[in-house]
Amino acid sequence: MPAGPLAPTVLEECQRWLDRQGYTPATAAGVVNLLARLSLWMEEVGAEVDDIDGQLLDRFVLRERSRDVVCTTVKSCSGTMRRFLTDAGYLRPSPAVAGLLTPCGSPQIVEGFGLRGVRDGGSVR
């Protein structure tokens, strides 16, 4: 039985989110398992749901990767776990990431990404 501040509400919410996103049952199980381990670790360190931020998640991943045997879901599911936590409002994107998520209208930035290649018939030189 999962324990910690994310159980059972956030874990169930994550399962529904993964279903809506179209993840396979195997991938969804890996993400929920990783989130359950995060919940247990949060209980160990005295963290609550409101304490979730990038630094807390980085500390958790560092701890998981320091184990003698590292579970593959730490590598394969961490990004999806973070996307869920962000989409669900538990994790605010960092200012740097938030800036990347907004549309860019700057011609200078577009130029920097190879607009010249498009003007020259699609070949990037």
Q: How high is the pLDDT of residue 17?
A: 98
**Contact present, 95 and 53 (Cβ < 8 Å):** no
Find the mean pLDDT for residues 98-103.
50
What architecture (CATH level 2) is domain 9-92? Answer: Orthogonal Bundle (1.10)
The tens digit of pLDDT for each residue in 12-31 reads 999 999 999 999 999 999 99
pLDDT at 119 over 80: no
Q: How high is the pLDDT of residue 93?
A: 74
Mean pLDDT score of the chain: 82
* Cβ neighbourhood burial of 121 (10 Å; 0-12, 13-18, 19+): exposed
For the chain, domain boundaries: 9-92, 100-125
